[in-house]
Amino acid sequence: MTFVEEYPFEAKVVRVCFAISFAALGIGGFMGMVQALHRTGVLRVMDSTDYYTVLTSHGVLLALVFTVFFLAGIFTWGVTRSLDRPLPNPAATKAWIALMTVGTLFATVAILGGFVDSIPFSADVLFTFYAPLQAHPIFYIGLSMFLLGTWLAGLDWIQTFRAWRADNPDERVPLQTFMAIVTMLMWYIATLGLAIEVLVFLLPWSLGLIPEVDPLLTRTLFWYFGHPVVYFWLMPAYFVWYTILPKLSGGRLFSDPLARVVFLLFLVLSTPVGFHHQYLDPGIPTGFKFVAMTNTMFLLLPSLLTAFTVVASMEYGARKNGGTGYFGWLRTLPWDDPAFAGAALAGLMFAGGGFSGMVNAGFNINYLVHNTLWVPGHFHLTVGTASALTFMAVSYWLWPQVTGKRLQHRRLATAQPYVWFVGMTLMSNAMHRGGLAGLPRRTAEPEWNVAQDVVFDTPFGTIPEIQIQIAVGATALFVGLVMFLIVMTGTWLVEQKGTIEVDGTIPAPLSGPSDSPRLLDDFRIWVALAVVLVAIAYGFPLYSLVADGAFAPGVPPAPT
């Protein structure tokens, strides 16, 4: 039986989450192209005073809505499938979907209000929405509902797991469920900062209940959440690279134990690093910035382990199907399968994003790149490709399983990952190099002349200065996005008799859970360790901020 026949309710949950995710991808992606063509001066369809409205819709709809709704869909599929068990309480499931959806609508309406001067509300606060920028209260109310919805979604999956655990007291946690639960535990720890920032400070401030907020404290609470949220976007992609990409490669996962260690490292290390976004902020004790940098370097480990394990799994599959040589086996991989090609190219591109992340993390070298176009170059390779392209790629495999329909427009699907890869190579390369030349991020009309000589020398000739690369790259990305949405919509709407048979099984790993200590599955230990590290990294800095009066906004600073 296919997933849609065996679990009709859960398949519907996945369809609804994916549909909202893809809608956010479409609108947010369109805004991305509009702002890229505006910034490069190629095509200006808006006034520069609307730039922050466009950039906020691009960032919020892609970085928060597209990614998190996709995570909710794929984790619902993975937990149901790997436990072979339905969600325990459909009413609770409908509640979290409703909260996330209404919260998204509130925030989106607040943002789009920024386009019409006569509308009395806006939210031109960018996707990081920290003070001193202020949004209308409905933006913060929307954010709070969305966050509550994600917490309840996690509870849904944890309840399913606990019911399974009661029936299977001695079994090891199936890997996909393990990954979903560890990701959510990391999310609960990380979103504490966000909840305090929004509910204690930003929402009362926007309602006029408190006269002002302390920007450094609210930024610190945001970045407490702001780094782990990037792994909340990455871990569903790793879920795909570890549990589905080996199968698509014709092989099996090289090591289940290593996959568990990687996810636990993210749980333990993701939150106590947020100060690496605040190296230039005054008021944060330097020693704690150094602690964040050290932790960040440790955080490279789970991804380097992933590079090793996932590539080894792919190589195993390729060699099983006749691949030979040091690298010749790469040719044997199914590059004409859009699900495989998209996920593999996303991984390849993430290697670049990961290394630019290392540059960001260097305390002193960060001074060179902070607030420059380098940083968007970095995150269009990470969330913009490692996550986004992996999500699109795995949809080519999963969407037929949750709709019961054959994938339509297959040739479009086959070409789409390559269009995305070329577009992103151009755009991200130009952003990284433009940033090094001193171009700022988050400005509507940058001074391109500082980077006029930055061209892209390729074996096929020189590609002109970076405005052209960014404009061409952004347009190619939008074309890739439209191709993806045509395939998904066409598949959903096609009239089809009966449901197709799709093999959604996941082969057993080469090294299974029994090769790892049962300790890995005892979540309590790892959560406790994570909390201790957070207390070490944030305890004193937050205490000193509060002692300096940050908690009593509006109170005049102590006389010097």
Q: Shortest approach of ligand HAS to residue 4 CB, angstroms?
A: 29
Which residue in 127, 178, 188 sits closest to 153, CA to CA?
Answer: 188
- Pick the binder of ligand HAS from 382, 390, 429, 475 (CB under 6 A): 382
219 contact choice in ligand HAS, Cu ion, none (CB below 5 to 8 Å, kind-dependent): none
Site for Cu ion in 166-185 (CB under 5 A): none
Dist. CA 173–CA 294, nearest whole Å: 31
Q: What is the largest CA-CA distance in the chain?
A: 79
Active-site positions read 227, 231, 378-380, 441-442
Residue count, binding to Cu ion (CB under 5 A): 1
DSSP secondary structure string for all residues of 116-155: -TTSS----STTT--TTS---HHHHHHHHHHHHHHHHHHH
- Pick the binder of ligand HAS from 105, 307, 479, 531 (CB under 6 A): 307
What Å distances lie between residue 83 and 12, 70, 181, 399, CA to CA?
Answer: 18, 20, 12, 20
Dist. CA 51–CA 42, nearest whole Å: 15
**Counting contacts by CB under 6 A, is residue 241 touching ligand HAS?**
yes
**Counting contacts by CB under 6 A, is residue 370 touching ligand HAS?**
yes
Residue 259's identity, in one-letter code, is A
368 contact choice in ligand HAS, Cu ion, none (CB below 5 to 8 Å, kind-dependent): none
CB atoms within 10 A of CB 448: 18
Site for ligand HAS in 468-497 (CB under 6 A): none
CB atoms within 10 A of CB 474: 26
**Counting contacts by CB under 6 A, is residue 272 touching ligand HAS?**
no
What Å distances lie between residue 429 and 234, 277, 375, 447, 520, CA to CA?
Answer: 21, 22, 11, 18, 39
Q: Shortest approach of Cu ion to residue 252 CB, angstroms?
A: 33
Q: Shortest approach of Cu ion to residue 297 CB, angstroms?
A: 12
**Counting contacts by CB under 6 A, is residue 350 touching ligand HAS?**
yes
**Counting contacts by CB under 5 A, is residue 219 touching Cu ion?**
no
Site for ligand HAS in 115-174 (CB under 6 A): 128
**Counting contacts by CB under 6 A, is residue 321 touching ligand HAS?**
no
- Pick the binder of Cu ion from 39, 81, 227, 252 (CB under 5 A): 227
Q: Shortest approach of Cu ion to residue 373 CB, angstroms?
A: 17
415 contact choice in ligand HAS, Cu ion, none (CB below 5 to 8 Å, kind-dependent): none
CA atoms within 13 A on the CB side of 55: 21
183 Cβ neighbours under 8 A, 6+ residues apart: 71, 75, 231, 232, 235, 236, 239, 263, 266
The SS3 of residue 234 is: helix
**Counting contacts by CB under 6 A, is residue 344 touching ligand HAS?**
yes
Dist. CA 172–CA 174, nearest whole Å: 6
Chain residues binding Cu ion by CB under 5 A are 227
| Residues near ligand HAS, by CB under 6 A | 128, 230, 233-234, 241, 276-277, 296, 299-300, 303-304, 306-307, 310-311, 330, 344, 347-348, 350-351, 354, 357-358, 360-361, 366, 370, 375, 378-379, 382-383, 386-387
